[in-house]
Structure 1
């Protein structure tokens, strides 16, 4: 499918952003959405899922009707704002109004936003449900609902509000579910809404331009390896662990040793969270320590490295971690610091995700392929001659 089949103003915006053709998820999803079918889509992080639903939904909006027509829900404030920015960029040329509605923000200000008669709303389920109950948000005109990162939406404290939000719309609405991983719970939820929902799985980009590697080490060696990684020129990396206390301890010790680190907590305020991410993007921070929950939905442009201090139990968790790098075709490397037991578990993941894990090491001020290397010691033995290639 060519982008030429879209509205001319959307095509112009796409080309301004250097987009001349669709990614696989866009090519396969857009026609289904334009047909008005419900669909549940699994596609790896960084493959263009947001535009896969934003483009056809914008094309479906009637700009002359000033009521909400499209509702997009996401599990975190960060992801809501990322989606909002994408929608807003493409909606401008279409003269379509967009509003963001998230928890934690001033309710009165958000009510004022609704008075502007937005046609697309991007928000979190809790605040959307609250505004519906306050009768400030009318749902009768909503024809399309997107649940982005649906598996995580169904784990949030506001999950019970999602069926109520859907019920507040007319029965002929279209439901679209997207995520990097689709859990059985998400499939069951989708089929409970419509038994005829179509399923689409994109197996793409987990290999692509991403190097999946591991460095064998004992637990006590992790800190020194992180120090060496943090000393690499122009290093920028997200460092994952399931243990927040380990993250805090490592970050403090590395800061003391001159490595610029920070911690991305799930409970950071909006401004502080933005500052922490901006510092990594700009290079002020070298290693940003985080948990899976805190990192969900963030998009750091051209992030070269993701590092894991403990191998995820489930391959879906690994998918989300590795999806922070190699976004939209860019190159990236995932470095897993593993002991012998974890190494065995890590290598077992490749059977599920078709991954090829390579052994890495830190040597000569870089992360390179191969086993642990050491500088050669001086010897009294005669030096061997290099074999000439002539």
Structure 2
């Protein structure tokens, strides 16, 4: 494993974290960043993008300089705090201080943080811009700016502040744009900020050990399928819907039928949001319902399942949903509940994603892969809450998926 001339303390921390191999995005991005290049990096969720920019930036920091040198921006408080924690972990036993600056927090406390002379600022663009205007955050020493989840940053209410933040820094600054999906709009924004971009793209086939599957059904059958999925022993799944109003109804009905569910709202407070995520990881909750916006930036380690109630409209949404499992090479399964029309749309995504979709079923308390020697009718029969029948045709057999840990 090449160490790219990173600092000795960083290399030691890498070894302590049992990292023995770089992911593709790290292998490509770290050398480019160390060379001082402006980069726009597209890599699937869960492939180690944060370390791909944090590690080389630590190498480039002057520990004798007291002013902030690096600003990292993210679209959500959740993601800001995740990045902040990673930076803190890798700056232990160094003279590099880091501060988190987010909206909704007390401004005076954040000003006090800045008085401690942090070299790295991790925050939301709105609050960073506010502190710059108040002349509490000095940007003349900032040489590196990271736009994490840049495609979402340019959609936030704070997007108008982004160019102003860049202009407040030195002209020889280095700009790093990262996301799981670099949309045309995100690329245009990046080109407006930098005239000499190096593009780095990691294959959208995803690096994780993920099975992408579908269960054909009618719309009215999805609730029963969810009940069966939620009844599986040790089930932990993040359930996505395009319709936020559908989440509460499904969760309420499943709770009434004994399935432990919760809903992740984008408007949940910090403590409430933390609790629902902890309940899912601890097993107190089996199914956590969420929209794409609410789930953006969350990092659930070893999550075995993602379920989609509705096929996302865009391939970018599918990338972010499926990226909740299979993080850093772990095993995971994506279950798409699809009507005949939705199935056609789902299959249009696979060309872009380079994915293969397996047909699945839920039988005898297990998610199973249906293996067919010839085409069978893609329909699940669910009547009166009866269990799905086991296929007994000699031409069909149902293979049990290896249990997720």
* Interval containing the TM-score (normalised by the shorter chain): over 0.9
1:206 to partner: Cα distance: 2.3
TM-superposed deviation, 1:207: 6.3
Q: In the comparison of the two structures, how many residue pairs are matched?
A: 377
Residue 3 (structure 1) shift: 2.0
Tell me the residue number matched to 1:223. Answer: 223
Q: Which residue of 2 aligns with 1:374?
A: 389
SS of 1:349's equivalent in the other structure is: helix
Corresponding residue SS for 2:159? coil
Q: Which residue of the partner structure matches residue 287 of structure 1?
A: 287
Structure 2: how far apart are the matches of 1:252 and 1:204?
35
Offset at 1:239? Answer: 0.3
Q: What corresponds to 2:52 in structure 1?
A: 52
Unaligned runs of at least 5 residues, structure 2: 371-377, 381-387, 393-405
Which runs of no fewer than 5 residues in structure 1 stay unpaired? 378-390
Cα distance in 1, alignment partners of residues 45 and 207 from structure 2: 12
Q: 1:242: Cα distance to partner? A: 1.0
Give the aligned partner of residue 143 of structure 2.
Answer: 143
Q: Identify the residue that residue 154 of structure 1 maps to in structure 2.
A: 154
Write out per-residue CA displacement over residues 304-332 of structure 1, whole angstroms, 9 at most, x where no aligned residue.
00000110111111000000000000000
CA contact (8 A) 2:40 2:190 kept: yes
Q: Given that residues 129 and 161 in structure 2 are in contact (C-alpha distance below 8 angstroms), is that contact kept between their aligned partners in structure 1?
A: yes
CA distance in 2, matches of 1:350, 1:146: 30
**Separation of aligned partners in 1, 2:25 and 2:10:** 18
Q: Distance in 1 between matches of 2:323 and 2:263?
A: 19
SS at the partner of 2:92? helix
The answer as to whether partners of 2:215 and 2:337 remain within 8 angstroms in 1 is yes
SS of residue matched to 1:175: strand
Measured after TM superposition, the shift of residue 205 of structure 1 is 5.2
Aligned residue in 1 for 2:82: 82
State the 1:347 CA deviation: 1.1
Q: 1: distance between equivalents of 2:367 and 2:181?
A: 29
Please say which of residues 151-160 and 273-282 is displaced more in the overlay: 273-282
Equivalents in 2 of 1:343, 1:17: separation in Å?
41
2:196 is aligned with 1:179: no
The answer to whether structure 1 residue 69 and structure 2 residue 92 are counterparts is: no
Q: Does 1:32 align with 2:47?
A: no
CA contact (8 A) 1:30 1:53 kept: yes
Distance in structure 2 (CA, Å) of the matches to 1:205 and 1:300: 20
Matched-pair contact (CA < 8 Å) for 1:10–1:94: no
CA contact (8 A) 1:68 1:142 kept: yes
Is residue 2:199 matched to residue 1:203?
A: no
- 1:207–1:355: 8 Å Cα contact kept in structure 2? no
CA contact 2:205–2:353 (8 Å) conserved in 1: no
Aligned mates of 2:30, 2:129 — CA distance in 1? 28
Moved more, 258-267 or 189-198: 189-198
Aligned-pair distance for 1:59? 0.7
SS at match of 1:239: strand
Q: Please state whether the residue corresponding to 1:141 is helix, strand or coil.
A: coil
Aligned residue runs from structure 1 range 1-390, under 5 A = 2-3=2-3, 5-203=5-203, 206=206, 208-370=208-370, 374-375=389-390
C-alpha deviations, 1:169-197, integer Å up to 9, x for none?
01000000000000111111111122211
TM-score for both structures, normalised by structure 2: 0.91
The answer on whether the counterparts of 1:13 and 1:93 sit within 8 Å (CA) in structure 2 is: no
Counterpart-to-counterpart distance in 1, 2:212 and 2:93: 40
Distance 2:36 2:4 in 1: 20
1:21 CA displacement = 2.3
Question: Which stretch of the first structure deviates more once superposed, 226-235 or 86-95?
Answer: 86-95
Q: Contact 1:10–1:93 at 8 Å: present in 2 too? A: no
| Runs of 4+ with >3 A deviation | none
TM-score (norm 1): 0.95
C-alpha distance in 2, partners of 1:198/1:93? 33
3-state SS of the aligned residue for 1:163? helix
Relative distance call for 1:282 and 1:353 in structure 2 (3 A) is: same
Say whether the 8 Å CA contact 1:3–1:22 is kept in structure 2: no
CA contact 2:211–2:333 (8 Å) conserved in 1: yes
- 1:39 match: secondary structure: strand
Is the 2:205–2:354 contact (alpha carbons within 8 Å) kept by the matching residues of 1? no
For residues 307 and 136 of structure 2, what CA distance do their matches in structure 1 show?
45
Alpha-carbon RMSD across the aligned residues, in angstroms, is 1.3
CA distance in 2, matches of 1:260, 1:58: 43
